[in-house]
Amino acid sequence: MPDLMSNSVTGLLAMQQALATTGNNIANANTPGYSRERVNLASMQAQYQNGSYIGSGVQVASVTRVYDQFITSQLNAATTTNSSLTFQNDFTTQVTQLLGDTSSGIAQQTQAFFNATQAIAANPTDATARSTFLGSAQALTDSFNRIDSQLQSLDNQIGQQASDIGRQINTYAKQVASLNGEISKAQATNPNALPNDLLDQRDQLITQISSLIDVKANPDNQGNINLTLASGESLVLNSTATNLSVGNLPSGLNITLGNTDITSRVKGGTLGGMLEAQSQLITPLRNQLGRAALVLADQVNQNQTTGVDLNGNTGTNLFTDVSAFAPQTTAQPTNKGTGSATGGYTDPTLLTGQTYLARYDGTNWQVSTVPGNGAAPLTVASGGTLSLPGLDVTFAGAPQSGDVLNILPTVGAAGKIGVVQQSPSGIAAAEAGQPAYSRDNTQIQKLFDLSSATVVGQTAAGANNGSSLSESVSSAVSQAGAFAGQVQLAAKAASATLTNLTAQQQSVSGVNLDEEAANLLKYQQQYQALSQSISSANTIFQSLLSAFR
């Protein structure tokens, strides 16, 4: 039967829970991922008495967290984009710094090498001019070597960090799967009393995963949140997480989910930013610098070996012979066969600066460019040789269907070029047939003309329709700078978007201490009023007892 005492007691108990919840909010005001909680009160069922329905007091219907799924989804997406661009921005800054400025970078050193020929052309027998020319050649190859080595070192750092990120993703995914199990059990027990702390923990883990790789959160009706990658592969399904592994090959990062290679489908997050930095900056830059180094060595050596030196002898190579270089080829870790490929250069001026992917279809290797250019793949049987622009590639071994080989014609070549001519008198400044100590400068002048000859990326041998060596190096540096500029602008925009969404999310789910202080005062006053009601009920009851004594 409802009465003043019982109604007041229900209110007192409800206010105790409201005060406890408010105190919990205040205690967790700075806890990452915490969503403020709200006590939802409901009237208890009224009872019919003396021709009327009399209220039975109040009860706590539920304690829910203040949460907006839409804002959270937007925030996770913004986190993914921001993490990707932040990594790219930091990384491109390092790359552009090592390429040098407009007065001392590798593009300027390439032109300085050719300009050094003019002192020899003016005085072909001058030992100082010849020594200076050798010094400029050494400085140029040192720059090629240093930049390629540092680019490779940065690439190796990406590999190490990406491996760590793969392990972090697996740890977080397993924790999400475990929480799915606990939350789904709680929901099955009582759909109106969900474990808010576990829900917060799971959301925080999903945000952390989103900063590493792009994932989509898909809630179901049983309390689970299933995570899929942007391309649709399942990372977490109910209480099961699929293992993700990351390796770093010469061709770039290799990412597998379970037994499936998903490298080309990974987007966003720091991991996606690493893939982007490799494919859009590191690999193209090493390709272009490697191609320039190969053409430089090939063309300068051809010039020198067709002239005569100061002693009247046939000239020798100035740079490392191109035959000492070889394209890199790597097999995918998921290959089941023993297929392999080796290659050699036929004409470096025809090299495109692209990489190639060979996929075995069970009968032949299908070879296409990376990225694809829309052309049909070239076909060659295992054991056969395929002619590509500027090089031949021979396939061997026993591949199995689906096996993949990566062919990198020019990556790393810039790190291998060196000066092999050590004698100033060995420089071939005169054309063939000239005697010793000739003052003829025909050959060294032809070498200077190479600086403007369009010999890089020709469409056919001798076509002279590509770009010059200086232009090729300058273009590589400019493209890296343009990419860095684009990333910097995009990173600023992504950071601003993330800041705005974080503010929105906090305005909904974050703890406002002023609001909580007001709630404390409100609940405290109500608690005191209810205490007074109980005291009044007790006084009335005691008076009633006294009347019957």
80 token code pair? 């993914």
pLDDT of residue 3 exceeding 90, the answer is no
Query: Average pLDDT for residues 193-199, to the nearest whole number?
Result: 89
Lowest pLDDT segment from 77-81, 177-181, 256-260: 256-260
Query: What is the pLDDT confidence band of residue 1, given thresholds at 50, 70 and 90?
Result: very low
- How far CA 359 is from CA of 335, 337, 382, 395, 447, in Å, comes to 10, 12, 11, 11, 42
503: helix, coil or strand?
helix
CA distance 367 to 383: 14
- Contacts for 429-433 with beta carbons within 8 Å, 24 or more apart? 429/120, 429/121, 429/124, 429/130, 429/307, 429/309, 429/310, 430/124, 430/307, 430/308, 430/309, 431/306, 431/307, 431/308, 432/306, 432/307, 432/308, 432/314, 433/308
User: Of 188, 186, 205, which is closest to residue 196 (Cα–Cα)?
Assistant: 186
Listed range (160-169, 263-272, 475-484, 538-547) with the worst mean pLDDT: 538-547
8 A C-beta contact, residue 178 and residue 6: no
**Tokens (6 digits) for 94:** 């390092």
49: tokens are 């008495």
CB 538 within 8 A of CB 3: no
- Label residue 411 by pLDDT band (50, 70, 90): very high
Cβ burial, residue 81 (10 Å; 0-12/13-18/19+) = buried
Q: What is the mean pLDDT of the chain?
A: 89
- Mean pLDDT value across residues 294-301: 96
pLDDT digits (tens, 9 = 90+) for 298-338: 999 999 999 999 999 999 999 999 998 899 998 988 889 99
Question: Helix 127-189 to helix 283-305 angle, to the nearest 10 degrees?
Answer: 160
Return d(Cα 176, Cα 203) in angstroms, integer. 9
Identify the band that residue 121 occupies on the pLDDT scale cut at 50, 70 and 90: very high
The model's pLDDT over 258-283, given as tens digits with 9 standing for 90+, comes to: 888 888 889 899 999 999 999 889 99
Q: How far is CA 288 from CA 49, 411, 502, in A?
A: 91, 8, 41
Distance CA 141, CA 113 (A): 10
The one-letter amino acid at 487: V
Arithmetic mean of pLDDT, 434-460: 93
* Entry field: residues in the chain: 549
Q: What are φ and ψ of residue 155, in 5° steps?
A: -65, -40
Containing 407, the helix (H) or strand (E) segment is strand 404-408
Instruction: Indicate the range of 38-52, 245-259, 354-368, 423-437 predicted with least confidence.
Output: 38-52
Which of 54-63, 139-148, 342-351, 437-446 bottoms out in mean pLDDT, i.e. has the lowest? 54-63
Query: What is the C-alpha to C-alpha distance for residues 452 and 471, in angstroms, rounded to an integer?
Result: 8
- The per-residue pLDDT for 104 is 63
Between CA 448 and CA 307 the distance in angstroms is 14
Mean pLDDT, residues 277-301: 93
Side chain identity, residue 332: Q
pLDDT at 44: 81
- In eight-state DSSP terms, residue 322 is G
SS3 73: helix
Distance between CA atoms of 63 and 21, rounded to whole angstroms?
8
pLDDT of residue 372: 76
End-to-end CA distance of the chain: 24
CB-CB contact of 404 with 358 (8 Å): yes
Q: Is the pLDDT higher at 240 or at 57? A: 240
**Pairing verdict, β 404-408 and 58-65:** unpaired
Q: CA neighbours within 13 Å on the CB side: how many for 127?
A: 4
| More reliable by pLDDT, 132 or 188 | 132
**Exposure string (b/e) for 96-129, b if CB count within 10 Å is 16 or more?**
bebbbeeeebbbbbbbebbebbebbbeebeeeeb
Q: Which SS3 state, helix, strand or coil, does residue 456 take? A: strand
Closest by alpha carbon to 411, among 361, 456, 356? 356
Q: What is residue 2's predicted lDDT score, i.e. its pLDDT?
A: 59
Distance of alpha carbon 24 from alpha carbon 196, whole angstroms: 12
Q: What is the pLDDT of residue 549?
A: 60
For 39-73, what is each residue's pLDDT tens digit? Answer: 888 888 878 777 777 777 888 888 888 888 899 99
Q: How many other CB atoms sit within 10 Å of the CB of residue 488?
A: 14
DSSP result, 514-528: HHHHHHHHHHHHHHH
Residue 101 has pLDDT above 70, yes or no: no
Model confidence band, residue 210 (pLDDT cutoffs 50, 70, 90): very high
The mean per-residue pLDDT over the stretch 104-119 comes to 90
Does position 374 have pLDDT exceeding 80, yes or no? no
Return all residues near 414 (Cβ < 8 A) that are at least 6 apart: 144, 145, 147, 148, 286, 289, 290, 292, 293
pLDDT at 369 over 70: yes
pLDDT of residue 119 exceeding 50, the answer is yes
